[in-house]
């Protein structure tokens, strides 16, 4: 994001709406720390452009300031339209693709996180019987993540034997999906968050989770992880004991798919049976 210094009147309205806290006011103008800006466009989308004349607004603010009064625009406007989203070149364009939910990921055609919801799995069959799916999200608003950290976690997971989901934007940036290595030219780019998707099986889940815990100690952001699987024939969730056995508390914020969609795939192995 660029700020047109000829238009900015330094009202500061864009400072609190910045999702990464990278806008600062200096000597009556604001500037963006471009190295940390993730091009999410939140500032531009949140603030209405009132298209006021910057010279006039500055003169009014200056004049009122001399008599201990102030002209402050409504908090949801940029009075002069000084915020300027730019046409971004590769690889910086990745920042917007991963951070602005209004933009679709070119690799998957899906907006937001760029990957299909697992709750449609009964139709899409991305996770089959016996698969344990993992979504590993790095970054959060205010913190973000760089692809170098995503590579570090992906390489650790690859060594633990996972298989990366092909229809995922991070996998799409891998130069070697077997090792979790990303393209060199993207490593320094920063995004608000990104998701690694992969699968393993129940037997290897504890070692994969231990790998993830260790990898989290060596990166400069936060990780949240989700585990998913097809339920057994009696509705049981196969991974509960394995996850809790690793010391994790499972969130009750779960989604259960009743399986009323028409599957677009044929299951090749039977859904797990558990003894009554």
Tell me if 42 contacts ligand SF4 by CB under 6 A: yes
Tell me if 43 contacts ligand SF4 by CB under 6 A: yes
Q: By CB under 6 A, which span of 15-23, 111-119, 172-180, 239-247 interacts with ligand SF4?
A: 15-23
| Centroid of chain to Cα 122 | 25
Cα torsion angle, 57, 59, 60, 66, sign? positive
d(CA 276, CA 271): 15
d(CA 77, CA 173): 37
Tell me if 13 contacts ligand SF4 by CB under 6 A: yes
Q: By CB under 6 A, which span of 16-24, 162-170, 182-190, 227-235 interacts with ligand SF4?
A: 16-24
Side-chain half-sphere exposure of 191, counting CA atoms within 13 A:
26
Q: Give yes or no for a contact between 132 and 202, defined as CB atoms under 8 angstroms apart.
A: yes
Tell me if 138 contacts ligand SF4 by CB under 6 A: no
- Rounded to the nearest whole angstrom, what is the least distance from the CB of residue 107 to ligand SF4 in the complex? 22
Which of 61, 79, 113, 122 binds ligand SF4 (CB under 6 A)? It is 79
Token readout for 8 is 């900015």
Q: List 141's β-bridge partners, or say none.
A: none
Which of 26, 31, 35, 38 binds ligand SF4 (CB under 6 A)? It is 38
Q: By CB under 6 A, which span of 42-50, 165-173, 178-186, 194-202 interacts with ligand SF4?
A: 42-50
Helix (H) or strand (E) holding 55: helix 54-65
Size of the site for ligand SF4 (CB under 6 A): 29
d(CA 197, CA 169): 9
Tell me if 145 contacts ligand SF4 by CB under 6 A: no
Tell me if 41 contacts ligand SF4 by CB under 6 A: yes
Cβ count within 10 A of residue 220: 13
Residues that bind ligand SF4 in the complex, under the rule CB under 6 A = 1, 3, 8-14, 18-20, 22-23, 30, 32, 37-43, 47, 78-80, 82-83
């Amino acid at each position: 994001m660029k700020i047109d210094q000829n238009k900015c009147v330094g009202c500061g309205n864009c400072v609190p709406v910045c999702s990464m806290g990278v806008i600062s006011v200096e000597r009556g103008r604001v500037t963006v720390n471009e190295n940390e800006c993730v091009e999410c466009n939140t500032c531009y989308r949140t603030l209405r452009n009132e298209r006021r004349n910057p010279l006039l607004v500055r003169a009014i603010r200056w004049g009122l300031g001399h008599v201990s009064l102030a002209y402050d625009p409504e908090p949801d406007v940029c009075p002069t339209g000084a915020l300027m989203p730019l046409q971004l070149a590769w690889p910086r364009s990745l920042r917007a693709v991963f951070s602005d939910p209004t933009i679709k990921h070119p690799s998957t055609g899906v907006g937001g996180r760029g990957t299909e919801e697992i709750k449609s799995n009964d139709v899409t069959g991305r996770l089959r019987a016996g698969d344990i799916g993992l979504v590993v999200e790095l970054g959060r608003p205010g913190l973000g993540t760089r692809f170098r950290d995503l590579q570090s976690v992906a390489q650790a997971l690859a060594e633990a034997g996972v298989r990366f989901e092909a229809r995922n934007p991070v996998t799409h940036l891998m130069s070697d999906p077997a090792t979790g290595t990303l393209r060199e030219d993207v490593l320094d780019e920063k995004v608000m968050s990104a998701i690694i998707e992969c699968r393993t099986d129940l037997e290897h889940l504890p070692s994969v989770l231990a790998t993830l815990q260790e990898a989290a100690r060596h990166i400069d952001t936060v990780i949240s992880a989700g585990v998913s699987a097809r339920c057994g024939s009696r509705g049981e969730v196969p991974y509960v004991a394995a996850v809790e056995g690793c010391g994790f508390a499972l969130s009750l914020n779960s989604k259960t798919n009743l399986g009323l969609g028409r599957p677009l795939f044929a299951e090749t192995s039977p859904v797990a049976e558990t003894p009554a």
